[in-house]
Structure 1
């Protein structure tokens, strides 16, 4: 039983005066206080009746999703009770801004508008950004990012017509079972909580949004939710002073404009048992007098059970005002609250002067935020202006900086030797493929599995049986609630499975949950790799996948301790390796509006003109993927939409993507000489007119070779039928080369192709003339040098290591046809639509494997090879080709002979040729790439570190469709990329 006497309260106050830390000599007063005696405030005060001055201290709850009846209720309170302001809850930004305009118009004195936006407007409003919860922010080591978040949240709050953000939470969360603060806190370390609270506060207040540090005197060490009951905190004064109240004192000294008081029972501060919101010893005695806070004191919501139990509406508001609060949040009965406060004045419990001082304080805030010169909030483009690319990028940066690697045995992260890994992923707590899993697949082939929350033993055994075929498992443990609660709802069988995974050295675990949950998983601390991601947003899932593969690094530190498993401050640094980072244009200094709008327009123009049925566009700058998008359909006549992972026929891009990297590697090893000829590697050519022609000239298309030979024409009789000794309808040992399902080529026909190349005449003059003849021979040359199968060689040395798993020949042997985009309807050779086989006739007669054509890929995988070129031979922390060799192969070889070509690579025209130019106007002379007959293009520019991939099937249904060339879509899009680069 508590003793409630005035003497005890006096003793408490005396102890407080002796034990509380002295005020800092560097204390900064809230900036708005200078307006308390301004002319504007004086003019308003002179107009207000005593009751209207009381009404200035009241914030009423408003919603933008409750319709006209609710609006009329608020308007009535504004007009009849003259309330001081509103606190907005659920709704959407357009409606909220419209309502606030209407409410301001109805008010005689401008209304202050507040909102709980601890993690941004997304906490309350649809179609707005939610930044990471404060627990995740507590892991960030760079407080400048927190300041920038404050700046951005302030901008967004003001854009919706409001002025106060009831944030930051500066409770020190030192109770893992805290049900109400928990993930809303920066953590358990008072210094970390303080520094981040100050950074967030300054970011907002520097941009004229008032903030309130909450929940004074500290709500972190309780296991009771004050929304439903009154929590009790039984710590001694010394502990409360040195820990719970520490952040509040520091923020007060730093100039915080407001402090929100919690509903708490704290005997050491007030032995009467009243909630702190109603406690004069706490609010007036400690907060005002001892801590010297003279800013705006705001109650926590006055409808919460922690304060309403035993207190009637209106009466409880009076008690809060008497205790020393300036602003009542969520008053439920405004007329009665005003009446009760008026009674208290008449009874001498509080004076009119005190009320007037508080009304002046509220009005001073209104002037500080600009309400003395009020203008309505425009609702035009409000959603777009709230969700700016800069705001989205900041969110991504915050998430990236928060990711915390708790275990990384043998430095497995980031993953390196992708060619040695057979990877599976499993999403635990999910029933569908997750964003995390889709993001993993951007880097290499990953087989995906899911285990739902209530999975039983048989489901788990089924998955385990399939996982045996993989030597690396990536497990994502997902949250099932909107917020990262400190709970686990997974079945006991699933939890046992997580324990097994933790003991498996070939498993990476990503926890998309509250860090305290780590203590609820048995033995999770023995995991080889363990990533704490804090929450289960799509952005967090994306970034965690990128961390695993080295697209980004990790610097986060655990902001709380987790039982005996992990200590506050744990976190290993992981450095990125130069694999792709998937992000937005602004992260690479590009303008997303220019990029997306203009590329979309050009692609839609091409599709509408039937230049192409669809396509893919991939753009990376500085190693950052800023656009990867699919457009249109596979065919004009069907409904299969192009997906980003669909494969396209690369056509002549094969020339720089297959044998050429092999030749560059062999050149590095001294096994391939640019001054040697074909005959030095294929003895069959020693007595030909091509003997001695150096590869430098061959690869630069200056070897006098004929452009092409229509091999297929020699296989057809005059009546249009196939020669019996060349083709059969069924396969056999003599006819093993598949041209189509019912067309098989003789096994020796490749020799005829080589013979035709050998016997073909040379052009008279050694000048630039594009020729594919030698590229038929290059795979055989690579095999002759390496004594290894060509496909195996390029797979093992390039594609597998790059994670470019769709970069392949003969794709229908590996991928379903629904993922392969069709090309031409062939009416002169194969006499059927071409789907899943190479379009080029010569390449298909080489069995689909040639360096002239034959490769397929999606844009993402082709881009990995091209980024390696752009990096002058390095990608993903691994060197493939020397910088010297790549620079040699990509430079113009014979400019004096009016030849723009590099070695294999195409280059920009030596002089710009306007609309007929082969590249964008702004492409540098150091840029290089290639185009393909099927409607493809790939180009990189080292001058601005820019990579561009364009995929289409313009030859469908016929190669005679040249609209893509006439529209010049590919190079127009390329120019957009340069236009989008910000100066």
Structure 2
């Protein structure tokens, strides 16, 4: 074994030892801990004024990519208001670790640090790794890989000094036109969503991270983005019980530590006109806590979203969220004003004081469970190397390999024949793709072509004629947008080219895009082979190439129904 390999093996062993140590340290899960007397929680609670008790329920937004003035403004809020926690968004890992240390020193009670990182810290932080989207994970048949991913993400969180992930998404995405959930969901099958969501959060929780399933009671069947307006969920209570709420009910039974509430109007659960579920005591206390028996942290979705603020300005939304049953009020537009209004609500006895006390102690218990009773500063030493470790990169490739889904074709039709004249065409790209370079290693008579999104009809016709000269053709479709929507952003001319190309005798299509995009590409189902790869990552492109070269036996199954040709569960091994 070479010196380099020895070092890599040692690094992997040290990392796995750290994960194991963290797992063993959590002898009691968070939900169980709430039924136990906790001297630290009681002591801290007794020392807080009523104002600062209320403030423990508020989490403020933070960034490390908006400059020193912004960082200082957040520091001022933390120091002056003594809030309960911080939610970090975009920035860099080293800068964030340093800022977490700074903010923690400004708070009398240690801050609970959260991040909305559904596919890992790379969702928010530069220079870090991103795991596959949940829609991609929905295709995987081995859920132990997703559990392992949860453990690795927990390690990343704790390495930077964070304690809570606002994940997983457990919405059943049964509306292809959903503009806000979509690829963030595990799919449209409630059983698949449930199993994968539980595997993900259990991996995180077993490694010492607080989690938050979202968006209760279900945000999957809507075509309205709650960041912009209040969506309406018009279904019956029976439908909601059997479908939307099913994954959340099972997650509660599996020991989920936190639940995020959606901003939605749901008349079957609360008939109040234009009432956001986040502000509904009937839904949060009546359904979630009383009927479903949830004991964990109830977290509001962001209170800065228009779905909740449009009808409740000037702190009214926060007071209603508090009275409804939320334990954590996330991203208030004006926390100082909201805290004051909640104090007034308490003086008016709008909820029992014992309920308020339980909320605060629940937040303090989360801090204790996360290790904040013995908080230490985050070390910046080797932070990039720790977050970009080789075992994590290998796991991302494993997950990608396990997700590749063959929707049409057999081994003979898909497999690359090295000596044949081969064209590898990437559409939607501006330079040679990972997919092309990987396949290029296997052919002795191959040619690579690029068709960018601005390609005009004359060029496309020329390309179509040229493909007739090749014995086998591989065409990859790439969605390069940050958010892969249900409809791919190709011109009609390019879509017509794709349909015409399938008339070639040996064309294999690889779709590195949202699976729903296939429905908007008529004729693609006629290709010799069709491989769905879910997202435009280098790992997925390598995985597809491995299927084509015979290195990998595909095992993925389609997690959503695309059209009559490709329903949920479609997927073939070769």
TM > 0.5: yes
Q: Give the match for residue 134 of structure 1.
A: 134
Q: Give the match for residue 177 of structure 2.
A: 177
Contact 1:483/1:535 (8 A) holds in 2: no
Q: Give the match for residue 797 of structure 1.
A: none
Q: Give the match for residue 119 of structure 1.
A: 119
Q: Give the match for residue 292 of structure 2.
A: 291
1:539 aligns to what SS in structure 2?
helix
Give TM-score, length-normalised by structure 1. Answer: 0.55
1:807-818 alignment, distance < 5 Å: none
- Taking the aligned partners of 2:404 and 2:247, their CA distance within structure 1 comes to 25
> Is the counterpart of residue 271 in structure 1 residue 282 in structure 2?
no
Number of equivalenced pairs: 545
- Taking the aligned partners of 2:538 and 2:35, their CA distance within structure 1 comes to 44
Contact 1:32/1:368 (8 A) holds in 2: no
2:502 aligns to what SS in structure 1?
helix
Q: Deviations over 1:540-574 (max 9, x none)?
A: 11221121111222100000001212110000013
- 1:492 deviates by 1.0
> Is the counterpart of residue 502 in structure 1 residue 502 in structure 2?
yes
Q: Give the match for residue 517 of structure 1.
A: 517
Contact 2:31/2:295 (8 A) holds in 1: no
Contact 1:45/1:53 (8 A) holds in 2: yes
Moved over 4 A (4+): none
Q: Give the match for residue 537 of structure 1.
A: 537
Q: Give the match for residue 401 of structure 1.
A: 402
Larger RCO, structures 1/2 (Cα 8 Å, 6+ apart): 2
Q: Give the match for residue 86 of structure 2.
A: 86
- Taking the aligned partners of 1:249 and 1:94, their CA distance within structure 2 comes to 38
Q: Give the match for residue 22 of structure 2.
A: none
- 1:181 deviates by 0.3
1:52-71 alignment, distance < 5 Å: 52-71=52-71
Contact 2:468/2:504 (8 A) holds in 1: no
1:297 aligns to what SS in structure 2?
strand
Contact 2:413/2:506 (8 A) holds in 1: no
> Is the counterpart of residue 303 in structure 1 residue 285 in structure 2?
no
- Taking the aligned partners of 1:232 and 1:264, their CA distance within structure 2 comes to 6
1:254-403 alignment, distance < 5 Å: 254-273=254-273, 274-403=275-404
1:791-806 alignment, distance < 5 Å: none
Cα 1:36/1:191, change in 2 over 3 Å: same
Contact 1:423/1:473 (8 A) holds in 2: yes
Contact 2:488/2:513 (8 A) holds in 1: no
Contact 1:60/1:332 (8 A) holds in 2: no
1:355 aligns to what SS in structure 2?
helix
- 1:75 deviates by 1.9
1:214 aligns to what SS in structure 2?
strand
- Taking the aligned partners of 2:498 and 2:344, their CA distance within structure 1 comes to 62
- 1:71 deviates by 2.0
Q: Deviations over 1:137-163 (max 9, x none)?
A: 000000000000000000001111100
Q: Give the match for residue 659 of structure 1.
A: none
Contact 2:309/2:317 (8 A) holds in 1: yes
Q: Deviations over 1:323-362 (max 9, x none)?
A: 0000011112111010110111122212332221101000
2:180 aligns to what SS in structure 1?
coil
Q: Give the match for residue 427 of structure 2.
A: 428
Unaligned 5+ residue runs, structure 2?
Answer: 1-27
Q: Give the match for residue 250 of structure 1.
A: 250
Cα 1:320/1:36, change in 2 over 3 Å: farther
- Taking the aligned partners of 1:169 and 1:33, their CA distance within structure 2 comes to 24
- Taking the aligned partners of 2:239 and 2:394, their CA distance within structure 1 comes to 40
- 1:189 deviates by 0.5
- Taking the aligned partners of 2:290 and 2:130, their CA distance within structure 1 comes to 37
- Taking the aligned partners of 2:412 and 2:174, their CA distance within structure 1 comes to 31
* Greater helix content: 2
1:418 aligns to what SS in structure 2?
coil
- Taking the aligned partners of 2:67 and 2:513, their CA distance within structure 1 comes to 36
Q: Give the match for residue 9 of structure 2.
A: none
Q: Give the match for residue 479 of structure 2.
A: 479
- 1:30 deviates by 4.0
Q: Give the match for residue 11 of structure 2.
A: none
Q: Give the match for residue 754 of structure 1.
A: none
- Taking the aligned partners of 2:506 and 2:299, their CA distance within structure 1 comes to 53
- 1:457 deviates by 1.5
Cα 1:296/1:560, change in 2 over 3 Å: same
- 1:409 deviates by 4.3
Q: Give the match for residue 146 of structure 2.
A: 146
Q: Give the match for residue 414 of structure 2.
A: 413
- Taking the aligned partners of 1:64 and 1:257, their CA distance within structure 2 comes to 28
- 1:266 deviates by 0.8
Contact 2:404/2:556 (8 A) holds in 1: yes
Give TM-score, length-normalised by structure 2. Answer: 0.93
Q: Deviations over 1:294-347 (max 9, x none)?
A: 100000011011101021142211110000000011112111010110111122
- Taking the aligned partners of 1:112 and 1:185, their CA distance within structure 2 comes to 26
Contact 1:132/1:398 (8 A) holds in 2: yes
1:340 aligns to what SS in structure 2?
helix
2:229 aligns to what SS in structure 1?
coil
Contact 2:414/2:508 (8 A) holds in 1: no
Q: Give the match for residue 239 of structure 2.
A: 239
- Taking the aligned partners of 1:126 and 1:66, their CA distance within structure 2 comes to 14
1:412 aligns to what SS in structure 2?
helix
1:679-690 alignment, distance < 5 Å: none
1:187-206 alignment, distance < 5 Å: 187-206=187-206
- 1:35 deviates by 7.0
- 1:174 deviates by 0.2
Unaligned 5+ residue runs, structure 1?
Answer: 1-27, 575-983
Q: Deviations over 1:871-918 (max 9, x none)?
A: xxxxxxxxxxxxxxxxxxxxxxxxxxxxxxxxxxxxxxxxxxxxxxxx
- Taking the aligned partners of 1:117 and 1:291, their CA distance within structure 2 comes to 26
1:230 aligns to what SS in structure 2?
coil
- Taking the aligned partners of 2:73 and 2:452, their CA distance within structure 1 comes to 45
Cα 1:76/1:206, change in 2 over 3 Å: same
> Is the counterpart of residue 571 in structure 1 residue 563 in structure 2?
no
- 1:195 deviates by 0.3
Q: Give the match for residue 891 of structure 1.
A: none
- 1:33 deviates by 3.4
Contact 1:35/1:41 (8 A) holds in 2: no
Q: Deviations over 1:429-485 (max 9, x none)?
A: 123211111111111132011112132220112212322221101000110311221
Q: Deviations over 1:242-261 (max 9, x none)?
A: 00000000000000000000
> Is the counterpart of residue 469 in structure 1 residue 435 in structure 2?
no
Contact 2:183/2:484 (8 A) holds in 1: yes
1:809-848 alignment, distance < 5 Å: none
- 1:29 deviates by 7.7
- 1:76 deviates by 1.7
**Quick check: 116-125 or 518-527, which moved more?**
518-527
Q: Give the match for residue 527 of structure 1.
A: 527
- Taking the aligned partners of 1:383 and 1:259, their CA distance within structure 2 comes to 31
- 1:47 deviates by 0.5
**Quick check: 487-496 or 385-394, which moved more?**
487-496
Cα 1:410/1:327, change in 2 over 3 Å: closer
- 1:493 deviates by 1.3
**Quick check: 179-188 or 68-77, which moved more?**
68-77
Contact 1:208/1:369 (8 A) holds in 2: yes
Q: Give the match for residue 109 of structure 1.
A: 109
- Taking the aligned partners of 1:265 and 1:234, their CA distance within structure 2 comes to 8
1:462 aligns to what SS in structure 2?
helix
Q: Give the match for residue 224 of structure 2.
A: 224
1:365 aligns to what SS in structure 2?
helix
- Taking the aligned partners of 2:289 and 2:194, their CA distance within structure 1 comes to 20
